Amino acid sequence: MAAASQLNVFVSSTCYDLIDLRAELARFLTENGCVARLSEDSSSAFSVDPTDDSIASCLANVEAADAVVCIIDRRYGGTLKSGTYAGRSATHAEIEHARALSPPKPVFFFVRQRSFLEYDHMRQNPGFKTSWVEKESPENRDKWFKMMEAVSRLPKHDNWSNWCDQFQSITDLKGIVLKRLSDRFPGQAVSLALRPDRVVRLAFRLLGSNENGTIRGYFFNVGVGPAVDLAHGIRDLHKFVRQCSDGGLGVNEHLVRETDGTYYDDRWTLSFPYWAYCSYSNVYGDRFRVEAELEHDKGSIAVYKGERFFVGRAGASEEELIQVIPA
C-alpha cells in the first residue's frame, strides 16, 4: 500500500498577536502528517523569492498549498498600500486570493469565540463599541467586520466553508482544524491522525488466569487522546456474555473496576475462544470497538493471542473489524 501523501497547509492570520498560537498549530500539524507554511517561520515550508515583496511571497505560498487555514481573532492587520489587494490586510488578501484561483483553494475559517460574540453584537448594533476586536481603531474595526461579513456570506461550496468554526484556545483549535482537514482530504496523511488506533489506542493486558477459568486483565490507553463513553465486557462466539460501562480513559490510563486493579475476574464456563471487548468514542464523536482474543492454552491457562487484536467501527462484525498490532 502506498504511503499517504502529506497535506500542504498555509496558515493565514495576523502574526504578531498570534505568534504563539501559530507556532503551536504549526507544530501540531507537522506532527500529524502535514507540511505547514508560516510567513514568519523560516524553518517552515514557507518559500521566499528574493525578488518578491512580502505579500507577493505570501500569495505565492497560498498558490503552492493544498489548503488554507484562516484564523480570525481580534485584529484586522495593517493594510496593503498598493497592488491588486490595496486597502486589505494580508490575511484578507490571502483568503480572497485563494478563492480567486482556478480551481479555488479550500479555505477553512476559524474564529475565536470572544471575537465572534463581538461580531454578533456588531451585526445587531452598528454602533456597538468593542472591547476586544480592534477597540483602538474604528477604521480597522469596520474592515474587520466587513471581512467577517464576506466570510459568513460565502456560498456553500466543496472548496471552502460557508461559515467559521469557533474556538476558545489553541487546545480546542488544534482538534477542530485536524477534523476539518481530515474530512476534506481523507486520502492524505493527516487523516491517519483521526484513526482510532492513533487518537485513542486501546490495548489489552492479561494479568493472569488459572485452570478454573478465572481471567484477570484490563484495557489501557496508549494513544494521544482520551476515550469516552466506554462499554466493555466479554463475549463468546455467539453473544455478549457480560457488559458494563465506565466513564472514560485518559492517556496512559487503565480500565479497572476492582480496587486491586484487576478486571474480567469472572469464571467463564462456556467454551473458548473468548473476546474481551471495549467500545468507546473519540473526542470527535466517532464510535469504535476493540477486541482482544483470549484462549485456553495448555493446562487450561488463558493466554492472550496478541496477533488477534482488532479495532473497527462499533457494531461491526468480527470479519469487518480491522486487524492491527496491539501496542
DSSP-derived letter for residue 106 is: P
- Is the backbone of residue 18 left (phi > 0), alpha (psi -120 to 50) or beta? alpha
Q: Is residue 69 part of a domain?
A: yes
pLDDT on residue 52: 54
Domain of residue 226: give its range: 196-324
My answer on whether 111 and 35 are in the same domain is yes
Residue 315: its pLDDT value, please?
54
Least confident interval from 73-77, 117-121, 281-285, 319-323: 319-323
Predicted model pTM: 0.60
Q: Decide which of 175, 194, 213 is a domain's last residue.
A: 194
- Same structural domain for residues 176 and 247? no
Q: What is the DSSP code string of 175-200?
A: HHHHHHHHHH-TTBGGGGGGSHHHHS
The candidate with the shortest Cα–Cα distance to 189, out of 22, 36, 12, is 36
User: Using one digit for the tens of pLDDT, what is the confidence trace for 180-203?
Assistant: 888 888 777 666 666 666 677 777
pLDDT score at 307: 43
Residue 242, burial from CB neighbour count under 10 angstroms (0-12, 13-18, 19+): exposed
CATH code assigned at 256: 2.60.40
Q: The domain that contains 186 carries what CATH number?
A: 3.40.50.450
Task: Tally Cβ neighbours within 10 Å of residue 140.
Answer: 18
| Distance of alpha carbon 300 from alpha carbon 295, whole angstroms | 9
pLDDT tens, 126-185?
889 999 999 999 999 999 999 999 888 776 555 555 568 899 999 889 888 988 888 888
Q: Please indicate, yes or no, whether residues 155 and 32 belong to a single structural domain of this protein.
A: yes
Q: Is residue 1 part of a domain?
A: no
At residue 45, the pLDDT reads 58
Task: For 264-295, give the DSSP string.
Answer: -BEE--SPSPEEEEEEEE-TTS-EEEEEEEEE
Percent of the chain with pLDDT over 90: 32
Is residue 52 located within the same domain as residue 115? yes
Q: In degrees to the nearest 10, what's the CA dihedral of 31, 36, 42, 43?
A: 20
Q: What's the pLDDT score for residue 258?
A: 47
Q: What is the mean pLDDT of residues 308-326?
A: 47
Q: What is the pLDDT of residue 4?
A: 52
